[in-house]
Structures are given as C-alpha cells and as structure tokens.
Amino acid sequence: MPKTFEIAVFNGDGIGPEIMAPTLTLLSGLSSDYDFVWHDCPAGAASYLDCGSDLPEASLDTARRADAILLSALGDPAVRFPDGTEMTPQIDIRIALDLYAGVRPVRVVPGMRTPLALPEGRTIDFVLIRESTEGLFHTQGKGTVTDDMAEETLRITRATTEKVCRFTFDLAEARRAGGHPGRVTSVDKANVFRAFAFWREIFDGIAKDHPELTADHAYVDAMALYMVQKPWDWDVMVTENMFGDILSDLGAGLMGGLGMAPSADIGDDHALFQPCHGSAPDIAGQGIANPFAMILSAGMMLDWLGRRQGIPAMVADAARVQAAVDACLAAGETTGDLGGTLDTQGAAHAVIARL
C-alpha cells in the first residue's frame, strides 16, 4: 500500500493557480511508493473578495490537520483592507502554526542569471535560516504611534532562539552528510544590541552540542558585504526575522531574482513550502509565469516529509526534482524571465520529462 499524505494546497492569487497546477501534476506522477490527497484552501485576495476573509478559519484548520502545506502566492496589491493596509495571510499562517524556521536556500547553477561573475571553480550554495515569529516583527501592526514618536519592539526569546538554532545545526549536520563543509554562522548585531548578545550566547550554547560543526558569527552589515564579495564562503546561517527578511532578498538577487527562489517555513508540528516571489499580478492570466521556484519548493516538501517519515525514496526524489530543474536551466528550457521561450506548462513539462 502506498503511503498517502494529506496536503493543504493554497492556490492563491495572480499566478498562484497557474504555477500550482503543474506542480501538483509533477508530484502526483513521481512515485508509486507514496501518493497525495490535495485539500484546497481558499485564502488571499480572491478569498477576501469572495467571503470577507483573507485567511478563512476553515483553511487554517485544514492546514493544521495536513501532513504539509503547499502555498503558491497570496495577495494582490490592488485589494486592501478598508483601512488601507495590505493583507499578509502568509505571515498570519506562520504565526498561527508557529513556523519559526524560515529556510531560504541560495544556490546558483548554470543557466541562472546571477549578477556576479564567479571566479573559476566557485559556486554559491548556502542556506539562510530566518527566525520567522518574533525579532523585529514582534509588534508588527501593533507598534505605538503618536504625533511625535513611533515605537516597535525587538523581541528575542530563549525558547524560540534555542529552537531555531537547534534546527539550523541539525540542518548543517544533514548537509555535512551530503558533502557540505558543516559550518554554521550566526548573523546578528551583538556589538550594539543587548538582545543580540543574548541571541549569540544562546547560539554558542547550542553550538557546544555539535563539536563536529564549525560555529562562528558575523555582524549583519558585514554579512551583506560578504554575501556579495565571497558568497561561496557560507554553508548555513541563522538570523533574526528582519535581518533574515532583508538578507533572503539579497540571496534571491544572487540567484538572478525571486523567480528561482524556493522556501520552507518549518515548525515543530507543521511545515509550509512556497516560492519567495509574490502573485505577480502584472503577468497573471497569461500562462507565462516561471514555475521553477514553486517546483523547487515542492521538492523541499518531499525532502522534509521523507526525512520526518523515514522514507528515503522520498528524500531521493527531492534530489531528483532539484536535478531535473538544474538540467532544464542548463539546457535553456525555461520561461521568458530566464531568457527561454517556454510557457508555464512547457517549463513544468520539461522538468517532468527529465524525471
């Protein structure tokens, strides 16, 4: 009997449904050892216009019960709450399900449009972990604003910092088994803020449990420089929410833009996988969106499920999906944003053909 996984699917807005459909086709056809049941979860701008909620309780419940969550892109800048604020259901999901570890792999392979001229023999292959539930987002939407002053709070808790650091060291351990250097870097600002000195102390404590890994620190401003100057130097880094928000866009820039950047948001009991890009309303409905970031995010889901459930074939399939996307990139089998001539369906089928 194949193992069946229940997956909450947020088709979302704009190009969301266009990149999700071929991704589900790809996943369904991968293996006879496991299969998936898809549960449609309305959310985002269309859902708000339809039923008055950008994150209906029923969708959140389905996500809570599912084995994993796939999300394409939610929201539309043209649809706002009556007070003018933008809806951010993906952030609300992160908080509701305590998805504290934002996983942002930064990999540059031939065919990507990296703006850097890499020296011979150098590649970019690191993972940024962004703490995603506190830090400078703690008072998000609830900061104090008077006529003369605005104030927000930076919150670093021991419990969450320990969890996100443990997650990071475990990831570095798993990568080391696959031939990566086994180095973890804390990105902070411990020289100026006591909150980051506190963070660093916790990081150093967790590092002691992993003597086989190298643990070090970098200030966030210096890291912004290093990510451009010597991006090949890094393996796994962990940082606070706002720093991670900024550095992950810098990382996406190294890959030539958001169109190639996958992500995962992981907690103790739940995990969500989504591309880093938004709903791209400017190209929605034309069938030309690049599906690779969505497909790579689905690959990350296979890896997470496979490791968690002890199904090595699934972990291997995750690697196969990544290799198939890499091969398409190298062969120029891509959508227009990457210089290719394929539409969304064509690019997705090119990946499927290589599986």
Please give the Cα distance from 9 to 4 (Å, whole number).
15
Concatenated DSSP letters for 105-137? EEEE-TTS--SS-PPTT--EEEEEEEE-SSBTT
Q: Which is nearer to ligand ATP, 265 or 337 (CB)?
A: 337
CB-based contact 157:188 (threshold 8 Å): no
Question: Which residues, 6 or more positions from 301, have their beta carbon under 8 angstroms from its beta carbon?
Answer: 7, 68, 70, 264, 271, 273, 318
Q: Which is nearer to ligand ATP, 66 or 258 (CB)?
A: 258
- Pattern 276-295, Mg ion, x by CB under 5 A: --x-----------------
Smallest separation, CB 46 to Mg ion (Å): 18
Residue positions counted in the chain: 355
Please give the Cα distance from 108 to 254 (Å, whole number).
7
Contacts 24+ apart (CB under 8 A), 328-331: 328/111, 328/292, 328/354, 329/109, 329/110, 329/111, 329/112, 329/292, 330/109, 330/110, 330/111, 331/111
Q: Which is nearer to Mg ion, 86 or 221 (CB)?
A: 86
Q: Which helix (H) or strand (E) holds 69?
A: strand 68-71
Smallest separation, CB 200 to ligand ATP (Å): 30
Smallest separation, CB 258 to ligand ATP (Å): 5
Tell the residue number behind the tokens 């034309």, with chain if given. Answer: 286
Q: Which is nearer to ligand ATP, 30 or 74 (CB)?
A: 74
Q: Which does 337 bind (CB under 5 to 8 A by kind): Mg ion, ligand ATP, none?
A: ligand ATP
Whose CB is nearest to Mg ion?
A: 278
Contact residues: ligand ATP, CB under 6 A:
15, 75, 258-259, 277-280, 282-283, 289-290, 293, 337
Q: Which does 280 bind (CB under 5 to 8 A by kind): Mg ion, ligand ATP, none?
A: ligand ATP
Question: For residues 239-278, which are near Mg ion according to CB under 5 A?
Answer: 278
Smallest separation, CB 182 to ligand ATP (Å): 33
Tokens representing 278 are 């938004």
Smallest separation, CB 109 to ligand ATP (Å): 17
Smallest separation, CB 93 to Mg ion (Å): 16
Q: Which is nearer to ligand ATP, 83 or 282 (CB)?
A: 282
Within 13 A of 206's CA, how many CA atoms are on the CB side? 26
- Which residues of the shown chain bind Mg ion in the complex (CB under 5 A)? 278
